[in-house]
A = this chain, B = another copy of it.
Amino acid sequence: MKLATLRDGSRDGKLVVVRRDGQVHADAGAIAPNLQAALDDWERVAPALEALAAKLESGEIAGSPLDPAMLESPLPRAYEWVDGSAFLNHVILVRKARGAEPPATLTTDPLVYQGGSSRFLAPRDPIPLADESWGLDFESEVAVVLGDVPQGVKAEDAGRYVRLLLLANDVTLRNLIPNELAKGFGFFQSKPATAFSPFAITPDELGDAWKDGRVHLPLHTNYNGALAGDPDAAEMHFSFFQLLEHVAKTRSYTAGTILGSGTVSNADRARGISCLAERRMIETIEQGKPITPFMKIGDTVEIEMRDAEGRNLFGTIAQKVVAL
């Protein structure tokens, strides 16, 4: 099933079920007021949501037209946003871009950072930018929403804790990163609010494309109306299951925690990019210096993923940069 969150003036929005074609929704408020409440009580709530989704799909319930501008991120705020960096091609290129070496344990020890989670942007929210010199960049990612995860879970058991999948634009301020990382405590100011896709979907919606803790489909990013890249998300070096084992080594997680893949990136240059930092590094390698600037006021980015039949699985993240 596809779930979404309608803007209703409350902090957590209103939970709705969305028809597979993304055109129509049904109010799920009688089952759970919002997505966090549904995740808090998933065993009881999920079957009722599935039943509602089946009625919407069969036409037994007509539903109401869905206005994408009225959608919040599925979780407008979450108790935790943990983002991996599991596409090695991205790690190698971005580190090279800032004159840093990839970590010695690149292929054996996952990179993850703890993101801010108290206020996410909606999928069509503008990205507010106070200063263009901060070097605004998009980062197109896949992410999973977890159930309650006990400490010490192993990768082979991790699949049972994946409740939903969604896409993310992990907005980054590139020019704030070097000074911040030099201090040793990781990202902070360089990671403003992330935006997520309109729909969070259950793994079964992906069919065979959800396999071994990876999504085996290309992720499309348009930058200012032109295709920037469509790398295959299957090239994820550490699967979501391996990332979950890594992050659960020393603590447990509440239902509703979001775990991201990191920027989707393929070694095959023909697949393009999911962030401007990669393009700038490729330009540096090929032409001696970066040509593409970071995002400016008025720039747009669109992120979506389609299945083999061309269906837009998660809806489209569509954001424009505006002056704060």
Contacts and interface: CB of A to CB of B under 8 A. Distances in A.
A255 to B, nearest CB: 8
Contact of A11 (B40, B173, B189): B40
A224 interface: no
How many copies of this chain sit in the oligomeric assembly? 2
Contacts of A189: 246-247, 249-250
Interface string A169-203: 00001001001011111111111110000000000
A251 B116 contact: yes
Contacts of A80: 116-118
Contact of A152 (B40, B79, B257, B324): B324
B188 A114 contact: yes
Contacts of A113: 114, 185-186, 188
A: contact size bracket: 35 or more
A13 interface: no
A119 interface: yes
A103 interface: yes
Contacts of A324: 151-152
Given A113-B186, A186-B185, A192 B79 contact: no
A190 B185 CA distance: 12
Nearest to A173: B250
A111 interface: yes
A254 B183 contact: no
25 contacts: A11-B40, A11-B254, A77-B79, A79-B117, A82-B116, A85-B185, A100-B184, A104-B182, A111-B183, A112-B185, A113-B114, A113-B186, A113-B188, A114-B114, A116-B253, A118-B257, A119-B253, A130-B151, A130-B152, A181-B184, A185-B186, A186-B187, A189-B247, A189-B249, A191-B250
Given A77-B79, A134-B250, 16 more contacts: A11-B40, A78-B79, A79-B79, A85-B185, A103-B183, A111-B183, A111-B185, A114-B187, A118-B256, A128-B151, A130-B152, A186-B186, A186-B187, A188-B247, A189-B249, A192-B250
